[in-house]
Structure 1
Amino acid sequence: MASWLPLLWLLGLLPAATPAPSPRDAGAQAWEPASPELLRRPARFALDTYNRGLAAGARAVLGTVSGRVRQAGRGLLYSLKVTLEELPCTDPMVCQLPVSKKTLLCSFEVSYELGKHALLKQDCGPVDTKMKGAGIAQGCGDPGSDFIQGLSVISLFQSYPDDKNETSSPLFPLSDRDPLPQDFYVRMASLFKYFITTYNRTYKTEEEAQWRMSIFINNMIKAQKIQALDRGTAQYGVTKFSDLTEEEFRTIYLNPLLKEELGKKMRLVKFVGDPAPPEWDWRKNGAVTKVKNQGMCGSCWAFSVTGNVEGQWFLKRGDLLSLSEQELVDCDTVDKACMGGLPSNAYSAIKTLGGLETEDDYSYSGHLQTCSFSAQKVKVYINDSVELSHNEQELAAWLAKNGPISIAINAFGMQFYRHGISHPLRPLCSRWFIDHAVLLVGYGNRSDVPFWAIKNSWGTDWGEEGYYYLHRGSGACGVNVMASSAVVN
């Protein structure tokens, strides 16, 4: 395995560890102005995080820094306004696009607790056209529309991107030393046009659109590198996340708290019973609700747990109900809402609250609100929660007998996953970098390739109608390290 490491670092594919955000602050103090000296260390941390994974010739340097600070729980929370200078990049070994010097205006939120900094929010854009949210403006009639409409439309593949059996030759160089194809930029413009049309993207200015296109191109190159190293049948390419930087994607959609494994300890249950049948799918057996969408909120932990409880209640009571994730986001005071959480804590919160309301009674908003839980509206309760075996054969047998399982995995490559059975190299998808909670609903084989069927929470316009398929039997991406279930008597 060690022989792979130099190649993986060269390709820029090895994941970097990211510190977990600090606990949600209770009784937060008022914001106070902060001097540049006080802000220097959190600003330097934010810069280092921004530059993580970038080659030396492409890294930004710190410009002006201003901001404020307040007490947050046992630590401090910094709100920063920072300018970053992206230096001219002329090295073809580093730059995929020829770009000139650019100044970015960034908003960062950085926590400091127990001697550690953590980046909670990052929002960067050209200094004179600051973007909102994650950098994507929704709406019609924006100035950038003319730029988008003017992009050339030239076919990239005869069948791509709709044919799920695409076998076209690579569009991109797999090595930074390989020359770009002559029509590279034309083809990229066409593929970017497909992306913004398919996913209804609009940008506020031409400069913003060009910046997002450069991110898109770098992402497509990275997706092809992931494709080349995947040992399964998965296809990687254009998805609705293709214009997000890795940091944006991780901050908005993933859950770094999972790798800490500091949640409530649960009783370990080892399955003793019949061996697993050759295949099983709870979608065909009534225990799985429709695919949901967590939106721009790191609440995957809540969706994983409610999916499990939905299945447990169905198997014990015969009634499949769509349960409220928002109740957990708002009312679980141990977890951190859109900043992440742990399934073990969520089970405990359900017991403490007295149960879960349905989606209809407590609808999902995708951001933290004041808890409005009503005990009178509880439709489902749980009696306990248990940790399950790390043995994948025992997991399969438990699932077939007892229902869908809450799990957590390393989300490597999922930003660009389209379909098929994913099987990344172990160093790329280490069990030590668990950052996304999902629901195991079944297993089987496709053309003799064993898989787990996984319900995700990114909507039906991602993956295979919202589902992810991961290699079974190899501990791929830590699929077996954090399996759990509620208990309904």
Structure 2
Amino acid sequence: MAPWLPLLSLLGLLPGASSAPPGRAAGAQSWEAASSELLGPARFALEMYNRGRAAGARAALGAVRGRVRRTGRGSLYSLKATLEEPPCNDPMVCQLPVSKKTLLCTFEILDELGKHMLLRRDCGPVDTKITDDRNETFSSFLPLLNMDPLPKDLSMKMASIFKDFVTTYNRTYETKEEAQWRMSVFVNNMVRAQKIQALDRGTAQYGVTKFSDLTEEEFRTIYLNPLLKEEPRKKMRLAKSINDPAPPEWDWRDKGAVTKVKNQGMCGSCWAFSVTGNVEGQWFLKHGDLLSLSEQELVDCDKVDKACLGGLPSNAYSAIKTLGGLETEDDYSYHGHLQTCNFSAEKVKVYINDSVELSQNEQSHRQRLDHSISGPLVGEVWGSPRNPVLTPASGYGPGSAIPFWAIKNSWGTDWGEEGYYYLHRGSGACGVNIMASSAVVN
């Protein structure tokens, strides 16, 4: 047995320890699905497996079992399936030699609005380490992540760090195989974080976050906003320039203009949090009343954007005007998935008169920020499941040393620095200056 396997046993990561879905926190809503419900995702996984194969070399689906977890507008399926490959000796066509025809596969498929996406595929012959509890080690998964095997001392160190991660973020996994897969993903992310750290020219620290056991594809699919790249932005009126000199630093949190950090959960609704965060600040500046506003209203009632599948701030501002305003979080609470629109005009507490796009010049953002709450600053930091989608700027730091934006995110207070992210100011880092906008409240 590998030396770190007892750690998994002690942490409750081996079979029977929990009924939580693979790679998710305990207590999540997940259950064993009927075979009829699994058939569609399983057929899609089979289609992806057979893609590019000649007709006579395609595998056939055998037994399927799995679990389902509701997320956003759809479902996340974790499947185990046997595949039967036809006899074949041509290495140019077949992935496995003729003697290994029956495969055991683990698939993870996200189904949102009837659209399937394969997040994970891990297949091997049934007589290999995939089903051999005595010999399996997480190193056997590293080739799937394009990683070389780790030295024993480093492997033990990573196992210890992974143990701390599991404890800190209350992770449990359904099976030993899933625990080993998640550990290999974790190791891959730590290696990438180390490489990014070496390239960083500022003071940022890269390492473990609550997303560190997710692959980049999983993270992007579940948490990010694909509409930022997929759909053209609605043109917005350009904001008037402000020529007043800016103070050396400014922080609206110190002035009571920023609500607490929120958590969007497993839903790509960052666009809604960006816009409501901006409107909260604008309303405070005009009326002196800081209200926590409803993101769920936009997720449910903005019919142009796509709820947990993404949205654009320009569309969201228009939706607020069309609806007649925003309800508060108390009246229309957040659930992190699409529901029937339950908007009530009688409960509206905040309205907006217009929305504007800000200049791409970051100095103008700095000049504007001490007059109004600027944002949302919606950009993606590339290359790592630990990086954020940026939301309203709450302040900025002095021009000496390293100038920065203080940015409020929507992944909870257990991410970043109590939910905030500090980004270099003045270089257009991460596209922070590309899509800055603001509501107008008269």
Please point out which of 210, 230, 244 is paired with 2:180.
210
1:32-71 correspondence to structure 2 within 5 Å: 43-44=47-48, 63-64=59-60
Describe the superposition over 1:38-64 as per-residue Cα deviations: whole angstroms up to 9, x where unpaired: 969x9449979xxxxxxxxxxxx9855
Counterparts of 2:217 and 2:159 in 1: how far apart (Å)?
24
Cα offsets for 1:280-329 (capped at 9, x unmatched)? 11111111000000000000000000000000000001100000000000
- Residue in 1 aligned with 2:275? 305
Partner of residue 377, structure 1? 347
| Aligned residue in 1 for 2:300 | 330
Task: Answer whether contact 2:158 2:187 (CA < 8 A) is retained.
Answer: yes
Match of 2:423 in 1: 470
Amino acid at match of 1:243: D
1:402-426: per-residue Cα shift (whole Å, max 9, x none)? 1232111122256336xxxxxxxxx
How far the C-alpha of 1:366 sits from its partner, in A, is: 0.4
What secondary structure does 1:395 align onto?
helix
- Kept in 2, the 8 Å contact 1:307–1:404? The answer is no
For residues 47 and 248 of structure 1, do their structure 2 counterparts lie closer, same or farther at Cα, with a shift above 3 Å needed?
Answer: farther
Matched, 1:456 2:438: no
Aligned equivalent of 1:438 = 391
Seen in structure 2, the aligned counterparts of structure 1 residues 121 and 297 have a Cα distance that, compared at 3 Å, is farther
Distance (Å, rounded) in 2 between the aligned partners of 1:102 and 1:45: 12
Per-residue deviation, residues 76-103 of structure 1 (Å, max 9, x unmatched): x999989699xxxxxxxxxxxxxxx862
Q: Aligned residue for 1:22?
A: none
Superposition pairs for residues 146-161 of structure 1, below 5 Å? Answer: none
Unaligned runs of 5+ in 2: 1-36, 65-73, 84-102, 125-137, 139-145
Q: 1:105 aligns with which of 104, 107, 132?
A: 107
Deviation of 1:261 after TM superposition, in Å, equals: 5.2
Return the match for 1:233 from 186, 203, 208: 203
CA distance in 2, matches of 1:467, 1:102: 43
Q: 1:47 to 1:242 in 2, by over 3 A?
A: farther
Distance 1:436 1:341 in 2: 13
SS of 1:311's partner is: helix
Q: Which residue of 2 aligns with 1:54?
A: none
Q: Deviations over 1:69-125 (max 9, x none)?
A: xxxxxxxx999989699xxxxxxxxxxxxxxx862234354889xxxxxx6644547
**Aligned residue in 2 for 1:290:** 260
Alpha carbons of 1:245 and 1:341: their partners in 2 closer, same or farther (altered >3 Å)? Answer: same
- Alpha-carbon distance change, 63 to 387 in structure 1, aligned in 2, over 3 angstroms: farther
How many pairs were matched up? Answer: 351
Counterpart amino acid of residue 203 in structure 1 = Y
After TM superposition, give the deviation of residue 278 of structure 1 in Å.
Answer: 1.0
Moved more, 264-273 or 225-234: 264-273
Q: Which residue of 2 aligns with 1:345?
A: 315
TM-score (norm 1): 0.65
In the alignment, residue 382 of structure 2 is paired with which amino acid? F
Displacement of 1:208 after TM fit?
1.2
- Match in the other structure for 1:250: 220
**1:362 Cα offset (Å):** 0.2
Q: Percent identity, aligned pairs only?
A: 66
Among candidates 386, 389, 394, match of residue 356 of structure 2: 386
Q: 1:301 to 1:436 in 2, by over 3 A?
A: same
Provide Cα deviations, 1:425-462, integer angstroms capped at 9, x if missing partner.
Answer: xxxxxxxxxx9351111111487011111100000000
Structure 1 residues 203, 111: CA separation in 2 closer, same or farther (over 3 Å shift)?
Answer: closer
Q: For each residue in 1:223-261, what CA deviation from the matched residue of structure 2 results, as whole angstroms up to 9, or x when unmatched?
A: 111111112111111110010111111011100111245
Whole-Å Cα distance in 2 between the matches of residues 46 and 347 of structure 1? Answer: 44
Q: Give how far 1:274 is off.
A: 0.5
Amino acid at match of 1:188: M
> In structure 2, which of residues 377, 391, 399 is the aligned counterpart of residue 407 of structure 1?
377
Give the match for residue 367 of structure 2. 397
Going from structure 1 to structure 2, the CA distance change for 1:358 and 1:471 (only over 3 Å counts) comes to: same
Secondary structure, aligned partner of 1:302: helix
* Counterpart amino acid of residue 467 in structure 1: Y
Q: C-alpha distance in 1, partners of 2:268/2:199?
A: 28
Larger Rg: 2
